[in-house]
Structure 1
């Protein structure tokens, strides 16, 4: 078999590098998401199917924050701004969303926890952020999040000193589901108005 020489070898190497880099960039997002979910990196929370089976005497203050992506026309806020919970105790908090427009709007919430080192210990059992939310014109809803702080936080070298955690949500407008979009009236524009 003849060896590649000169320009052919260089081209083959460059094509190989491009293929490897393309493959790595394609896998980067799923790998980063997996890493954040596994470690709590960047304040990423964890999920569980049931409450904690252990409750400690120590309490942590959980603060709640809500915001909207630029251009998202909803109003969105926590119903209560904070609560004190024993570590391992199940908490139930509500956020309120309101659609002041004349058409349905779909939204999805992104979230994080601060300080970041507490993210791995903030466990959600149920949350409105797990699914897309659709609000009809003028609709106001209260959306629950059920959670607890994992007792393992008391053993973490750095996180064990945490005495307050902030849970933040940001709602982003998303495309309406097909059945909602087909039923929604089209927004009026100036050309359709009759004087």
Structure 2
């Protein structure tokens, strides 16, 4: 028909399969990096704020023990990507507020390779996180296990006596401390400095 153009609409530029593959790899790598970084960053934030039931860090024991008892239960979880076994040596203890208690968790590497992991943690009810303090904990540093290796890891904690002044927690008698281990990257090994080269060009010829 007259008046109609025979020109076809311009073709869209083709994106090569290589570009698509590289883009996908970059996206996945960024997500993996974010996953590794999120555990320590989130843990640091929660330690400072007590957000999400994260416990506090203490350097010394409280100055008093009061006559209010709690059953503290211990929970353990493993990310599916980590070939470890992880469990508390006892499922619960009874403590008074202000009493310092030590318990142990056991980890075992079930794989044939050396692996690294980091632990995230919280307590429930979440509101008790501001009153649950740890003096020593394996969650403060990443853990390394060789093939088939096992370790016993201590946790030294107390429930702050100040919890007795929190009226909204008056009905709380049980606190659950929960850990989840995630894969972690091995520490970066510094590149050894190259030895200086000896310049023999100026030596006299014999």
TM-score (normalised: structure 2):
0.69
State how far apart, in whole Å, the 1-side matches of 2:187 and 2:44 are.
Answer: 27
Are the structure 2 counterparts of residues 98 and 33 from structure 1 closer, same or farther at C-alpha, using a change threshold of 3 Å?
A: closer
8 A contact 2:43–2:120 mirrored in 1: no
Alignment correspondent of 1:3? none
2:94 aligned with 1:84: yes
TM-score (normalised: structure 1):
0.72
Alignment correspondent of 2:194? none
Alignment correspondent of 1:192? none
Deviation at 1:101, TM superposition (A): 1.1
Deviation at 1:38, TM superposition (A): 4.4
Residue aligned with 2:167, SS: coil
Deviation at 1:58, TM superposition (A): 1.3
Between the two proteins, the alignment pairs up a number of residues equal to: 151
Deviation at 1:46, TM superposition (A): 0.4
8 A contact 1:38–1:120 mirrored in 2: no
Larger Rg: 2
Alignment correspondent of 2:114? 104
The counterpart of 1:125, out of the listed 112, 117, 135, is: 135
State how far apart, in whole Å, the 2-side matches of 1:90 and 1:58 are.
Answer: 14
Alignment correspondent of 2:174? 164
8 A contact 1:117–1:158 mirrored in 2: no
Alignment correspondent of 1:174? 184
Deviation at 1:147, TM superposition (A): 0.4
Are the structure 2 counterparts of residues 92 and 173 from structure 1 closer, same or farther at C-alpha, using a change threshold of 3 Å?
A: same
Are the structure 2 counterparts of residues 141 and 117 from structure 1 closer, same or farther at C-alpha, using a change threshold of 3 Å?
A: same
Residue aligned with 2:63, SS: coil
What RMSD in Å do the two structures reach over aligned CA positions? Answer: 2.1
From the two aligned structures, give the one with the greater helix fraction: 1
State how far apart, in whole Å, the 1-side matches of 2:142 and 2:131 are.
Answer: 25
Are the structure 2 counterparts of residues 35 and 175 from structure 1 closer, same or farther at C-alpha, using a change threshold of 3 Å?
A: closer
Are the structure 2 counterparts of residues 46 and 174 from structure 1 closer, same or farther at C-alpha, using a change threshold of 3 Å?
A: same
State how far apart, in whole Å, the 2-side matches of 1:63 and 1:48 are.
Answer: 20
Can you give the 5+ residue segments of structure 2 that lack an aligned partner in the other structure? 1-37, 190-206
Deviation at 1:41, TM superposition (A): 2.5
Give 1:58-69 correspondences, 5 Å limit. Answer: 58-69=68-79
The counterpart of 1:52, out of the listed 40, 59, 62, is: 62
Are the structure 2 counterparts of residues 156 and 75 from structure 1 closer, same or farther at C-alpha, using a change threshold of 3 Å?
A: same
Alignment correspondent of 2:33? none
